[in-house]
Amino acid sequence: MNDFLGDSTLDHLRQIVHDDIPNNSRYCIRESIGQGGMGTVYLADDIALRRPVAMKVLRDGAADADAIDRMLREAHVVARLEHPGIVPVHDVGCLPDGRVYYIMKLVKGRRLDEYADASASLRERLRLFERICETVAFAHAHGVIHRDLKPQNVMVGQFGEVLVLDWGLAKVVCEATHGAPLDGTALPLMCSAKECLTETVAPQTAHGTVLGTPAYMSPEQARGEVARVDERSDVFALGGILYFLLTGQAPFAAVRMGDGADEPAIVPPRQRNRAVPRRLQSICLKSLFTDSEQRYVSAAEFASDVARFQNGQAVIAHREGLPERIARWVWWYRAPILIIAAYLLMRGLLMLWQRR
């Protein structure tokens, strides 16, 4: 084809095919930077404020009432959750062709799964994980359950900032069961009982529609028990992220269980990576219990236990024996212990030399 069309013509045709978004008076589309189940994220220029932004646009094939409702619900949820770990939403509207869009801050960085493949140390990974938990805990405190936490939905920015993305499956707990809403106003749109599917759905069950990513979703999500999905369901998914950071693998296969099937067993992290400390393995496995009552009660409690591990303290997920307690104490105070041991050794050698 290059014999008949020049390279510049081919590039122009590719842009027409892939970036078929009409511009409006406020935003000028530059290029596609991401794909989702029902929308595409574009790099755009905000002409009025002269800055680059990210524009999430509903695709043509997804422009039905359910998809529009979910897109608007996602924009409203993210806009109300003002936190450093959540990308702020600046605007929402419709393109000239009728497609819904919303404008976000443009974030540059790497997805967590890509970052974890690099040379980040265990301590650095755990610090990032604590910040993910803090962001999710903030959302929980405002009555929002993410329901699709996974490494691919976490971005690590150029300066170490951690951002939890893709709130399209978020479940908002109505004020009747979770206190006041985000800003003291009613949430008629976000409290809709309507549930929608994404590209990561698992099969339907008799209990309801299964939402989330099978490799990371909690057992109650996998069974379609929508009413039982709460903060501890996100704790399970956070445990899956921690499992990935420790082993490089998801806790489950991509395809997982149907109605009435037994929950697959999770391979302990140390069987996949012997360098994982036992106490850290216990923390990870506590978050991944099939029974939600045995998990951490909140993302904040989960983060606190990881912080205790980082600080050399006892963790609630692991029952230590006396040898383990002594070993932990020695390891944490190894620097002063080595200094004292070196001093005693030198003192002993000096005494022997004086006697001779």
Residue 216 one-letter amino acid? Y
End-to-end CA distance of the chain: 93
Q: Do the Cβ atoms of 71 and 64 come closer than 8 Å?
A: no
The half-sphere exposure of 74 on its side-chain side, counting CA atoms within 13 A, is 27
CA dihedral 132, 134, 139, 145 (to 10 degrees): 60
**Residue 231 in tokens:** 């903060």
Question: Please, what is the angle between helix 278-287 and helix 322-332, to 10°?
Answer: 110
Q: Kind of pairing, strands 89-94 and 51-58?
A: unpaired
CA dihedral 45, 46, 51, 54 (to 10 degrees): -60
d(CA 229, CA 195): 13
Q: Do the Cβ atoms of 173 and 141 come closer than 8 Å?
A: no
Say which of 20, 91, 97, 148 is annotated catalytic: 148
> Which SS3 state, helix, strand or coil, does residue 32 take?
strand
Q: Is 262 a catalytic residue?
A: no
Residues 6+ apart with CB under 8 A from 203: 210, 258, 259
What element of type H or E holds 328?
helix 322-332
User: Which DSSP symbol is given to 148?
Assistant: -
Residues carrying an active site annotation? 148
